[in-house]
Amino acid sequence: MNTISTRTYRDKYRLAVLDGALRNAMVAEKVCAIDRSDNKNIQNPYGGQPTATVQALAGTYSVSAFTTTNESLDVDDEIIYSEHIFDFEQTLSRFDLFASRTNEVMYAVAIAADKWAVNELCEGGTGAYTTPVGGFTTAANINVIISNLISKVAGYAETYYGNMYLIIEDTDVPGFIQAAATSGFKFADDALKNGLVGRYMGVDVFVVKSGTFVDEATTAVSGSKTWTNDSHRVFGVKKVTTFAQPRDHKIEEKSVTGKTGIEFVIYGYVGFKVWSQKAALTVDITLA
């Protein structure tokens, strides 16, 4: 007896496409710590920052008070999409409607999740920097901006491994190309041959589509969150923030009374936290 249904293959295909889309298309996967456990709430209690005293030899000391701050990440938003494909649409189409729609839906979910996480990252950082006039589109500003951003996080242990990142939009790319093309023979040669260099002055540069950084207030884009990120970008140290996606995404396929064909829905839960102890390692950039 064959116990494998045709739907089993559809589900496997959907999950494979989604898995690839989420990991290839998402910048958040590369700059945040990802938590895929079943936890709806992630606790992170921490004590106050101690300060050591240097003094002449005395053999005496004063006792400091110790306080604990409770901090947590709550998974309180979901990303969801569903649609109904009528049987006649599948039967009469001249191409593989299932595969086509699966690809479109998976990338739509991936883009929505990435946009949500990137804006949460930008909104939560306590570091702040305003670029010179012209922002990243002016080639002469690039070296100035990058060096100033690096100075914002210099001296922290996390930066010693060269794990800094910068997220820009595609409209910022021309300034980087022009700056790289005039910056030393080897660097310029790489830029001219390969386009945007993924690493600039020790910083990994990620490019997202125009319109990723936005102002939103509890909309279908931001969920329960409010953002003021229009004309902003974000810089920081990797893996000091947490992006929670419990059990990844789920897919359901249903027959609906009164309609031919099938309805399918894909959904997942998300949470994000810029932890207070290291919030300064995420820098909210304002374009001038």
Domains of the chain (ranges, CATH numbers): 6-286 (3.30.2400.10)
Integer Cα distance of 203 and 237 in angstroms: 9
Give pLDDT, residue 190: 53
- pLDDT at 223 exceeding the cut of 90: yes
Give pLDDT, residue 43: 76
Give pLDDT, residue 91: 67
The first and second tokens of residue 13, run together, are 């295909």
pLDDT class for 192, splitting at 50, 70, 90? very low
Concatenated DSSP letters of 102-154? HHHHHHHHHHHHHHHHHHHHHHH--EEEEPPTTGGGSHHHHHHHHHHHHHHHT
Integer Cα distance of 107 and 102 in angstroms: 9
1-34: pLDDT as tens digits: 444 455 555 666 566 655 555 555 578 888 888 8
DSSP class of 256: -
Closest residue by Cα to residue 159 from 150, 168, 148: 150
List, in order, residues 6 or more apart from 173 with CB less than 8 Å away: 196, 207
Integer Cα distance of 12 and 20 in angstroms: 12
Give pLDDT, residue 235: 96
User: Which of 36-45, 58-67, 237-246 bottoms out in mean pLDDT, i.e. has the lowest?
Assistant: 36-45
114-166: pLDDT as tens digits: 899 999 999 999 999 999 999 999 999 999 999 999 999 987 766 555 589 99
Residues β-bridged to residue 109 = none
Give pLDDT, residue 126: 94
More confident residue, 135 or 74: 135
